Chains A and B, each alone.
Chain A
């Protein structure tokens, strides 16, 4: 079975696609850092960041709707974490409500902080989606390796990428096998079946791990990972990193200036 939910657009050939993965990794992290460190009240800065990401997305020719859809996934998580802030933050009261026994007050600064967290996480996730959509996962891994990320972590990520598809296939087959024999039954029984499936999947993955390890040993693996060195950056990378860096530094300076 074929899956493309992870690397649907990574085969493109735009400027963003052709950049060295290291450039992309570093600039993305820098971008996120700047976004997160921007003071709450500087909404103009956020507009600038948004324009920046949007421009890059357009340059990369990854469909904006695809990026938007995936970025919305983050909203529930953020809301879950930040939902109480408007109620607990002290400051000018925006509204006060009586809910049963409690009196609940919402403050202006609380709402501001909440929207701010939402905006920051959304901008960060947009840049990360752009990064992963416009880069082959294997190049990304190579980039991490060249940036001296611990080898074990890179290897774990690489196995994850390789086997997530195999696992999804396995789950799909198990579901089909279950559905073709599932003739109703109570809710409790269905939950029990799902539990069994998870257990089976775990055992199968464990056994697969053993076989993969044997296959690695059969080709001389001795616990040390080795890779080829790759060519360095080219001019394009320097220019891109420089341009993006300048814009972001400008944003920081402006922020400090108006503070």
Chain B
């Protein structure tokens, strides 16, 4: 299996001195669907921002074998498609078409190609015919799908999604999970929605306090209640239970 993303001993602190990642190492291979789970503030989003070089330092991240640096940022962003958590941040254009066309235009596609990939990306996320709609007239579930389409239109090697199901009702959530399942592309999904992780990702990585604390088979990790509870992913039952106090 070829490695698409490789992270070696990555550490990162925010400018205010607050450490976010310390010594993270992991690899994502072609064809995998990997879950990145962890409590709030574990550093998941910060790690994702390193995958496509929005944050980057000292070559700790390699994409398709090349170290991410200032010179190949554009190439990296074409290979690693990052979907942000809040679609209101991701969708910034007056129409759906403009938004999906934004990436391909930046990649230097010509007009015919742009129109083709926009139509295709909308088909992939099941939103054909939404080209002329305005993002603010869409529901959250629709916005999430469009946000994924904006990235798919750039034809990336790996799709990196931050919290795809946050705030969705169960119906929209499961249809989004089905959608993601149907996309034949390498995926990294950051979430603390364990239902999603179980349904979608054979492999899971737990991140807590900026460190990788577990990396392996999802079934085994999700079965380990003590591990989950220790990292804020399961209900931490007080001894004796709440009702008997």
Contacts and interface: CB of A to CB of B under 8 A. Distances in A.
Contacts of A229: 111
A165 B138 CA distance: 12
B131 to A, nearest CB: 11
Contacts of A218: 52, 54, 77, 81-82, 84, 151
B83 to A, nearest CB: 9
Interface residues of B, number: 36
Chain B CB count within 10 A is highest, among A165, A219, A227, for A219
Interface string B154-195: 100000000000000000000000000000000000000000
A219 B76 CA distance: 10
A219 B136 contact: no
A165 B89 contact: no
A222 B92 contact: no
Interface string A165-180: 1100000000000000
B129 interface: no
Given A137-B94, A221-B106, A214 B84 contact: yes
Contact of B54 (A208, A217, A222): A217
A216 B92 contact: yes
A222 B74 contact: yes
Contact of B92 (A2, A136, A162, A228): A162
A133 to B, nearest CB: 16
Interface string B95-113: 1001001110111000100
A236 interface: no
Interface of B: 49, 52, 54, 74, 77-78, 81-82, 84, 86, 88-95, 98, 101-103, 105-107, 111, 114-115, 132, 134-137, 150-151, 154
